[in-house]
Amino acid sequence: MNSRRHKQKSPWKKAALDKRETLIIDHLDSGRMLAWFALQNYDDTGRFLSEILSQADARHSLSSQERGLAVDVASGVVRRRRALDTLLESQISRPRSNVEPDLWRLLQLGTWQVVYSRTPEHAAVDTTVELAKQSGRERWCSFVNGVLRNVVRLLSTDNSDDFATDALPTESGTYRKLNQSILPDPANDLVEYVGRAFSLPRSLARRWCGRMSRFDLTNSCFHSLKVPQITLRVNRLAATVGLVQDALREHGVDVTPGSNDWSLNLAHASMVTALPGYAEGWWSVQDDSAMLSAELLAPQSGEKILDLCAAPGGKTTHLAELSGDMAQITACDVSQRRLHRVADSIERLKLTGATPVLVERDGSDIPAADYDAALVDVPCSNTGVLSRRPEARWRFREDEVQELVQMQTRLLLTAFGHVMPGGRIVYSTCSIEPEETSQLVENITERVPGLNLVSQQLQLPGQLSDGAFQALLKKT
């Protein structure tokens, strides 16, 4: 078949990759096709799914419902990938190395729908087989159909309430019983069970199993699989919680109070920029645990505040709101592109006290001032926000944690050098790993005279919302 005929017959094109045949999507006409494209692109490039999907928007005219389906499927597959592989490996006799990469991705996509989505099982099977046809790979159809029907037969209608070789975690905090024991025995190898059942790399599963109680481990693991809800922080300078809540409900949005007095949770909202109050600056999107950083710093009117890692701007604008927009906030970042997001948020929220500033990575050109306080929200391994950033679990590397610790230490010391005596610093991260949190703070305060720990707080995933850590320090 020549390329012209193939293109006319199918929305896909062939390309050689590592001597294997892979699929490159020419146009995208369904949410499942977009999800398959995103998964292929993610595997090939390692980019974030959100970036891939945003760029792909120019190549399709899908409805918001279909695009939402693509986001759910693609992020669900990445989030559950190790569990999906375990399910598939139990039902396929040939080695995975003998299955074409795009075919394996298609099976992952179908298995996720069969096991974890609300799509009826027969529809999940049929639509996945149809995707194989649309790709011009009719030779895959019987194989896909047979494997997915085997997966359907693997599922029972019963639930379990604890770890077991035949118990697969669901999103609701329960375990679905399987008709075969395909998971490792948690009594003999808890790390491998947790890693496979909850889709964590072994290194991260080993860390969590080694230091968490069974209760905390279970909560953290279940939260890491949860589809994140959208949380809004109401701008207290422009609106009230009641005003925003009423406006959203009138718009048909299911909204409930958040854990913070100024937060609201949205059950579903595909396009937040189209919601009431966005253009007016009534609210920002921010998780409850992320709100704790600015609140711990407690900015005051007239203070000079250094926000050392400001982008994308959620904590910067929160500092401004808490100070009544009467503090002078220097919002620094090393990326001009990311600083544009900070500036856009400041403008949308109609704030005047925060100024975005581009700085060098070594901090040598941070504007000189007698800063009363500093917020250091550092880049990290993101292990507290695995539900919100599904790719983060697969990016986790032990050696990279040590590199991050060096960067985090440098940033905290930079803030220490710019805050005047008597000033305060909040160190903040969405990691829950000890090296990036309490151990780092302890090491620095032991070695740096004049830097004292006032308080620290760790939120494990699921305790409040996402996992996070904050420490309040004072320069004496």
Radius of gyration of the chain (CA): 24
Instruction: Identify the CA nearest to 308 among candidates 376, 358, 406.
Output: 376
Judge residue 455's burial from the number of C-beta atoms within 10 Å of its C-beta, 0-12 exposed, 13-18 middle, 19 or more buried: exposed
Among the listed residues 221, 309, 380, 430, the single catalytic one is 430
**Distances 454 to 290, 371, 416, 417, 474 between C-alpha atoms, Å:** 19, 18, 14, 18, 7
Q: Between the CA atoms of 54, 57, 59 and 62, what dihedral angle is there, to the nearest 10 degrees?
A: 150
**131-168 pLDDT tens trace:** 999 888 899 999 999 999 999 999 999 999 899 999 99
For 325, half-sphere exposure in the C-beta direction (CA atoms, 13 angstrom radius) is: 12
Longest dimension (CA), the chain: 76
The question of whether 430 is a catalytic residue gets the answer yes
Lowest mean pLDDT among 14-18, 194-198, 386-390, 394-398: 14-18
User: Which residues partner with 331 through β-bridges?
Assistant: 307, 356
Lowest mean pLDDT among 24-28, 430-434, 439-443: 24-28
**307-351 pLDDT tens trace:** 999 999 999 999 999 999 999 999 999 999 999 999 999 999 999
Rounded average pLDDT over 36-56? 92
For residues 36 and 109, is the Cβ–Cβ distance under 8 A?
A: yes
Q: How confident is the model at residue 200 (pLDDT cuts 50, 70, 90)?
A: very high
Round the average pLDDT of the chain to a whole number and report it. Answer: 92
Instruction: Identify the CA nearest to 335 among candidates 293, 379, 392.
Output: 379
**261-299 pLDDT tens trace:** 999 999 876 689 999 999 999 999 999 999 999 999 999
- Counting every residue, how long is the chain? 476
* Domains of the chain listed by start with CATH number: 3-156 (1.10.940.10), 161-225 (no CATH), 230-285 (3.30.70.1170), 288-475 (3.40.50.150)
Does residue 7 register a pLDDT over 70?
A: no
Q: How confident is the model at residue 22 (pLDDT cuts 50, 70, 90)?
A: very low
Q: How confident is the model at residue 63 (pLDDT cuts 50, 70, 90)?
A: confident
**212-266 pLDDT tens trace:** 999 999 999 999 999 988 999 999 999 999 999 999 999 999 999 999 999 999 9
**Distances 384 to 46, 148, 219, 271, 438 between C-alpha atoms, Å:** 20, 33, 12, 25, 14
Instruction: Identify the CA nearest to 62 among candidates 30, 38, 27.
Output: 30
Q: For residue 18, what are the contacts with CB-CB under 8 A and spacing of at least 6?
A: none
**206-217 pLDDT tens trace:** 999 999 999 999
Residue-level pLDDT at 269:
65
